[in-house]
Amino acid sequence: MEWLLLAMVITVFAALMSGFPVAFTLAGVSLLFAGLGTALGQFDSGLMSAMPNRLFGIMLNQTLVAVPLFVLMGVLLEKARVADDLLENMTALFGQRPGGLGLSMILVGAILAASTGIVGATVVTLGLIALPVMLRRGYDPRLASGSVAAAGTLGQIIPPSIILVLLGDQISNAYTQAQLEQGIFAPEAVSVGDLFSGALIPGLILVGAYVAYILFVAWRQPERVPGLTAAEFAERPPIGRLLLALAPPIVLIVLVLGSIMAGIATPTEAAAVGAVGALLLALLKRRLSLPVIQDSLQATLRVTAMVFMIFIGASIFSLVFRGFGGDALVHALLSGLPGGAMTALLLVMVIVFLLGFMLDFIEITFVVVPIVAPVLLMMGIDPVWLGILLAVNLQTSFLTPPFGFSLFYLRGAAPKSIQTSQIYRGVLPFIAIQIGVLGLLVIFPDLVTALPDLLAVHHSP
């Protein structure tokens, strides 16, 4: 049985590396090995009778309804060219001093991360809008491309984020499973809102660290990050008009995130508010038309269909994996390591980091997390802390050369004058920042858990 399990996992990765669609690879290979295992008497085909209920459960999952709504919110804000307006206005506010444009780009990246929640979309948007402007202003190409790639990956951790919605759903299921296996038949719940509140402080720390790095470069090497000329700065609009232009998208994000963290709305309800708010914002900016609505709905449909198809394929893979005894093998491996829970966590983090070179966050969330998270949670690791560590870890992986996904996204959107080696060298300081923040979260778990605990006490009757 172990050899069949190993062969199935190797076949899945070989097929993925060959370029086959993820969802159909997971489902097809799993069903193939389930049939082979049944023929050899090594697999109980009765397990497959649970599949219809699993798929039906996916369709009825209220938390996952937030996915298309958050996607629609992000796409509408993109179509309304909110990023263009934000960058233009923030540059007018901060652009006179060295590093002002880079500082503006980091803050715009943080706002876009909170509004789109999709790493690829944010990196491409900043690559198309901000990077050419920075290069024209005389910014060092390495620093410009590195800061754009880093700011784009903030969508991985800053809430409200699609990644955190999917990860929260999987962590919640794993936590319930871990407690039931420990004999706790009234399990505590962990929600997507808990992950949102747990990610807020780490996300702000990352943004602050990026800003500090840009300011440090502006102090030590101002020629790498020149400011606007006096004539350009004199032509800026009045401060009141600039702040008025910045207010609507920021207010929208605060309303969405604030309603979740205050316990007023579920993530799904808040996502609906965000989608309607994005629609109204596009209307306010006079950038809403029938073609824009059609394009936005089609883009939302494509992303949502991809997410749910991967979820279905991963659910089939997970069932067959457990049917071959894979969960027992993983449990024996992690629980038998010297050093206990922290060694097991370190091993999982290294594996997830390496998988981030080959798989997108959706595949890792749906395939890897359900396998390893229950074991780690049974060893006493806090579920919210685990979820945020995984998110920051993947964010670091997506930035790391030579296979980081964010680097590929930026390479496709960057001007041809930017060399791939410049992108790789430019992200190195930001990778160091990411690793430093990840280490900080490991040493001080309260940076993640304090806010969810405080809100839980505040919301309790």
Per residue in 218-263, pLDDT (tens digit) is 999 988 888 776 666 666 667 777 777 778 878 888 888 888 877 7
Question: Whole-number mean pLDDT of the chain?
Answer: 84
262-296 as b/e, with b when 16 or more CB fall inside 10 Å? eeebbbbbbbbbbbebbbebbeeeeebeeebeeeb
- Rounded percentage of the chain residues whose pLDDT exceeds 70: 95
Q: 3-class SS at 159?
A: coil
Q: Is residue 397 classed as helix, strand or coil in its secondary structure?
A: helix
Contact 156, 109 (CB under 8 A): no
Q: Are the C-beta atoms of 410 and 210 separated by less than 8 Å?
A: no
Nearest residue to 368 via CA among 13, 116, 3:
13
Burial class of residue 3 in the structure, from the number of CB atoms within 10 Å of its CB (0-12 exposed, 13-18 middle, 19+ buried): exposed
Q: What is the number of structural domains in the chain? A: 1
In this prediction, residue 145 carries a pLDDT of: 92
**Average pLDDT in the 389-415 region?**
85
Task: Report, as an integer, the average pLDDT of 144-158.
Answer: 88
Supply the pTM of this predicted model: 0.86
The number of residues making up the chain comes to 461
Give residue 198's domain range.
Answer: 2-459
pLDDT tens digit string along 359-389? 777 888 888 888 899 999 998 899 999 999 9
| CA geometry: angle 286, 291, 293, nearest 5 deg | 75
The confidence band for 147, taking pLDDT boundaries of 50, 70 and 90, is: very high
Q: Residue 36 class from Cβ within 10 Å (0-12 exposed, 13-18 middle, 19+ buried)? A: middle
